A = this chain, B = another copy of it.
């Protein structure tokens, strides 16, 4: 397995940090991997872009911050404008077409998907937008199994919400499949 150095970015309320924590727990508890997940906040955090770093590896992780992600997710225009310059050449940049207008030249595979709209149409509740995003990453990269993510979610939400999360996760996986990067 390669080492995944990821940055999830967006705005408060989009569930960026929650998605990062769930992914890290899934990797560690259910797949025997090692993970570090962090948030750094400086004066710029008052601007508005939320950023969460996750590293997943088979080996101990010495430095927990990500300087050049090979996976970058940007869920708002502000996050895209701010963080797209840091992507590692050849990395993967995932954006949502409702929130981000692409415009920068980046040396990366750019994947733009209607995650928000798909969740809204199929489930009617944008609260699981972040879980759909995790599904896309799983479908694109095979990071962890969808069942591992769902097992973590099941410990965190009331039982009546598990099915909605499962659906969002599966939507994400199925949106990624035709892209054939996995």
Contacts and interface: CB of A to CB of B under 8 A. Distances in A.
Contacts of A64: 38, 40, 64-65
A25 B29 CA distance: 27
Nearest to A55: B40
Sort chain A's interface into a size bin: 20 to 34
Contact of A36 (B12, B34, B38, B60): B38
A67 interface: no
Contact of A43 (B32, B37, B42): B32
Q: Chain A interface mostly helix, strand, loop or mixed?
A: mixed
A180 B13 CA distance: 37
A24 interface: yes
Given A25-B45, A40-B61, 9 more contacts: A24-B39, A27-B41, A28-B42, A29-B46, A35-B39, A35-B40, A36-B40, A37-B41, A64-B64
29 contacts: A13-B155, A17-B21, A24-B39, A25-B41, A25-B45, A27-B41, A28-B41, A28-B45, A29-B41, A29-B45, A29-B46, A32-B43, A34-B41, A34-B42, A35-B40, A35-B41, A36-B38, A36-B40, A36-B41, A37-B38, A37-B39, A37-B41, A38-B38, A38-B39, A38-B64, A40-B61, A42-B60, A64-B64, A64-B65
